[in-house]
Amino acid sequence: MQLRNAFTLVELIMVVSLIGVMAVFAVPSYTKAVKKSYEKAGVGNLLTIYSAQRIRFNTLSSYVAAADTNAINDPANGLGLSIIGNGMNYSCTAPGGTSFDCRAARTDGSFTLKVIDSNNNVCCQAGSCPSVSGC
């Protein structure tokens, strides 16, 4: 009887095939989970921006317009928040300072979330959002 010290070619092919099949199912699930996590972070940050805008309006009677995340975070001219973009671009428009419209857009362009001054319901303005409904 011979001692067997290695795997056979058939055994190696079977293992590689099984790993390939598992990857086929795992990668789309992982991608969807990552997209959903960006959406959740965007919703949370937009609600923070919404609250800061409302507080500013109650204090100074005007909303802030900000072209990007850095402008929103600016303590002098923005809201003084500590929003981290991390794959999202945040911006706000405030026509006349009496209303506002804030957006969180994925840097890859896959979706855009929006919140307005009249309510704090974040909606999906563009693209395919994983769980937030459309505007």
- pLDDT greater than 90 at residue 2: no
Reported confidence tier of residue 28, pLDDT bands at 50, 70, 90 = confident
Reported confidence tier of residue 83, pLDDT bands at 50, 70, 90 = very high
In 3D space, the residue among 79, 83, 75 whose CA is nearest the CA of residue 104 turns out to be 83
Q: Report phi then psi at 52, rounded to 5.
A: -65, -40
Instruction: Tell me which DSSP letter residue 95 carries.
Output: G
CA distance 17 to 36: 29
Average pLDDT, the chain: 91
What percentage of the chain has pLDDT greater than the value 90? 70
Of 122 and 120, the one with more pLDDT: 122
CA distance 96 to 101: 12
Reported confidence tier of residue 97, pLDDT bands at 50, 70, 90 = confident
For 41-74, write each residue's pLDDT tens digit: 999 999 999 999 999 999 999 999 999 999 999 9
For the entire predicted model, the pTM comes to 0.81
pLDDT at 1: 61
